């Protein structure tokens, strides 16, 4: 797998889709909002974490931990899960609204 090529493709998809600003520790990243299927969210997080949405982005450095606060288009969320994809090309942050 050509990691650099995959990174460029991911960046093009992020810019070409519906880019959304993601603020993590005061630094702004560009991501794409997405959602897990209901049964996947329930399997991963049950009903206690109150999954709201996910965002795909290039892995920030450092990665936020579970319970970290992020802003998605100006709205506050809390990270309930993180998944890195092959070659650390991208990551998915699973979020819940900051109640």
In terms of DSSP bridges, do strands 69-72 and 53-57 run parallel, antiparallel, or are they unpaired? unpaired
Distance CA 76, CA 11 (A): 24
Q: What is residue 95's three-state secondary structure?
A: strand
Alpha carbon distance 39, 21 (integer Å): 27
CATH topology of domain 3-97: Thrombin, subunit H (2.40.10)
What whole-number percentage of the chain has pLDDT above 70?
75
Beta strands in 12-52 (DSSP E): 19-24, 27-34
If you average pLDDT over every residue of the chain, what do you get? 82
> What is the C-alpha to C-alpha distance for residues 79 and 95, in angstroms, rounded to an integer?
5
| Model confidence band, residue 5 (pLDDT cutoffs 50, 70, 90) | confident
The predicted-structure confidence for 42-75, as pLDDT tens digits, reads as follows: 776 776 668 888 898 888 889 999 999 999 988 9
């Amino acid at each position: 797998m050509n990691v650099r090529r995959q990174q460029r493709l991911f960046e093009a998809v992020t810019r070409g889709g519906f880019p959304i600003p993601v603020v993590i520790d005061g630094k702004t990243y560009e991501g794409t909002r997405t959602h897990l299927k209901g049964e996947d969210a329930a399997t991963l997080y049950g009903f206690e974490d109150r999954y709201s949405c996910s965002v795909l982005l290039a892995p920030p450095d450092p990665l936020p931990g579970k319970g970290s606060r992020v802003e998605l288009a100006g709205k506050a969320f809390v990270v309930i899960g993180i998944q890195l994809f092959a070659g650390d090309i991208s990551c998915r942050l699973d979020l819940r609204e900051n109640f």
